[in-house]
Amino acid sequence: MMVEVGALAPDFTLSDYDKQPVSLSSFRGTRHVLLVFYPFAFSGTCTGELCRVRDELAEYEREAVQVLGVSVDTPFSLKAWAKEQGYQFPLLSDFWPHGSVARSYGVFNEKSGMANRGTFLVDRSGVVRYAEVNGPGEPRDQGAWKKAVAALP
């Protein structure tokens, strides 16, 4: 079941592409968090979506929003992808236990063993203010994220 708007976001700790732990709760009280679940590094739609986030990162940073990308890829593949694409925000590995964080947000695709395209905006207090899930092959409307960010207190 997908985490709904108004619910407390499930906390987690995952390794980034440098194998450093990143916890959602570490941003509580200081920054909002945009969680961007995506199927796989190096895939076409995912690359396009995250490159747009990369290109617009300053807009999120001005609004005190930390972007976190999450997939079931290994930290090694995430590091190579981040380097290739110039991503300056953390990409987190939900590799093992396989997809456990994606499952807690209701975006794990059991049939394919990957995360669906889930987007969650979590405010500074840890409450979900925006939630959207797109299935495989369905790109996201990133304009909706920006409206949700603009509506944050």
Q: Which residues are catalytic?
A: 46
Q: Hey, is 78 helix, strand or coil?
A: helix
Within its chain, how far is the Cα of 47 from the centroid?
13
Q: Hey, is 108 helix, strand or coil?
A: strand
Contact 72, 95 (CB under 8 A): yes
Q: What's the CA gap between 60 and 76, in Å, rounded?
A: 26
Q: What's the CA gap between 76 and 71, in Å, rounded?
A: 12
